[in-house]
């Protein structure tokens, strides 16, 4: 571990300073999300064989990589380069996760870094509480895309169209799973994997700001958490990422497992992606020889 890591603490469910009411959310979209949760319960009636469970795991893994490697490390932070064709493929696969449009996601995430843990942060557990930071922010009434934040991608018309039709990729995936494998695969392979994917991804917004270790003295509450890094293929090294967001690799040390980076590195060996950005030497110097970690502001109890 880094010499200045702070011991891991138990997760605390933050209440937040700024309460949200039922009027703040798009309830039609929220009902659709809840319907997928209910749909996953269909397994109790149909049962599930090994094929369904393998499909569930595969869809979780592939789409989690698309969320972390595409939504986050490519579209939000531009930490590597790829071709225009693969850029579109990555965007399409990422949107099968049903986490809204690729440009919407990137614009909101860039705001998260610019205003992290302030009242302008779109999903801060310190400001708005655990549940809003976990998933409520996606269904916020005031969640339009700030196109000025993503001008580097709006020049691609295919991405703009795909962003507007963000519901189409998950719908096509669900229909394809049902047509190929039947109802049990729809409930378990598609819907259950989607529910697990959602909550796995959302832990980085919520738990990664209240549970874990702080290696770097960032101005926000970001923390490193190896458990969350496992379930999100590397996103749990959140304090590393907030300290230096320009790196493709978020597990800065060899023992910090970062599966998304390993996949991107392998893709670079065959020319699918290139110019993967690494943390500079000063990042490691700051870790071992710099100032001690800041005690982050605590969320309201």
What pLDDT is attached to residue 294?
45
What are φ and ψ of residue 20, in 5° steps? -110, 145
Residue 14, sorted as left (phi over 0), alpha (psi -120 to 50) or beta, turns out to be: beta
Mean pLDDT of the chain: 85
What pLDDT is attached to residue 22?
55
pLDDT per residue over 211-249, tens digit each?
A: 898 888 888 888 999 999 999 999 999 999 999 999 999
Res. 148: pLDDT tops 70: yes
What pLDDT is attached to residue 287?
66
More confident residue, 209 or 190: 190
Separation of alpha carbons 283 and 250, rounded Å: 12
pLDDT per residue over 30-81, tens digit each?
A: 788 889 999 989 888 888 889 999 999 999 999 999 999 999 999 999 999 9
β-pair partners for 213: 224
Closest CA to 56 of 233, 168, 203, 185: 185
| Highest-pLDDT range among 20-29, 125-134, 184-193 | 184-193
**Could you state, in order of their start, the residue ranges of all structural domains in the chain?**
22-289
More confident residue, 144 or 168: 168
pLDDT per residue over 101-130, tens digit each?
A: 999 999 988 888 877 666 776 777 777 777
Res. 4: pLDDT tops 80: no
pLDDT band for position 180 (cuts 50, 70, 90): very high
What pLDDT is attached to residue 3?
36
**Do 269 and 195 meet the contact criterion of CB atoms below 8 Å apart?**
no
Separation of alpha carbons 158 and 153, rounded Å: 10
What pLDDT is attached to residue 18?
55
pLDDT per residue over 152-167, tens digit each?
A: 999 999 999 999 999 9
Percent of the chain with pLDDT over 90: 55
Percent of the chain with pLDDT over 70: 84
The set of residues, in sequence order, having a beta carbon less than 8 Å from that of 125 and lying 6+ positions away, is: 14, 16, 132, 133, 134, 205, 206, 209, 210, 221, 299
């Amino acid at each position: 571990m880094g010499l200045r890591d702070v011991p891991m603490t138990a997760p605390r469910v933050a209440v937040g300073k700024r309460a949200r009411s039922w009027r703040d959310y798009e309830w039609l979209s929220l009902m659709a999300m809840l319907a997928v949760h209910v749909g996953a319960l269909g397994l109790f009636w149909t049962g599930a064989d090994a094929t369904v469970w393998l499909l569930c795991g595969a869809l979780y893994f592939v789409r989690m990589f698309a969320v972390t490697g595409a939504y986050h490390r490519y579209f939000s932070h531009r930490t590597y380069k790829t071709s225009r064709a693969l850029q579109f493929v990555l965007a399409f696969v990422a949107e099968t996760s049903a986490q809204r449009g690729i440009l919407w996601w990137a614009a909101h995430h860039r705001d998260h870094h610019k205003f992290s843990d302030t009242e302008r942060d779109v999903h801060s557990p310190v400001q708005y509480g655990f549940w809003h930071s976990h998933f409520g922010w996606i269904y916020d009434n005031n969640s339009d895309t700030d196109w000025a934040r993503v001008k580097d991608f709006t020049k691609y018309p295919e991405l703009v169209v795909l962003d507007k039709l963000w519901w189409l990729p998950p719908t096509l995936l669900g229909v394809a799973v049902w047509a190929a494998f039947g109802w049990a695969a729809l409930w378990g392979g598609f819907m259950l994997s989607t529910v697990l994917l959602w909550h796995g991804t959302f832990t980085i917004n919520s738990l990664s700001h209240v549970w874990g270790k702080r290696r770097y003295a960032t101005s926000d509450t970001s923390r490193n958490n190896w458990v969350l890094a496992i379930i999100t293929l590397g996103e749990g090294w959140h304090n590393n990422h907030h300290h230096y967001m320009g790196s493709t690799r978020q597990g800065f040390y060899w023992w910090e497992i970062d599966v998304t980076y390993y996949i991107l590195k392998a893709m670079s060996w065959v020319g699918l992606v290139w110019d993967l950005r690494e943390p500079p030497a000063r990042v490691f110097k700051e870790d071992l020889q710099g100032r001690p970690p800041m005690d982050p502001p605590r969320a309201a109890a």
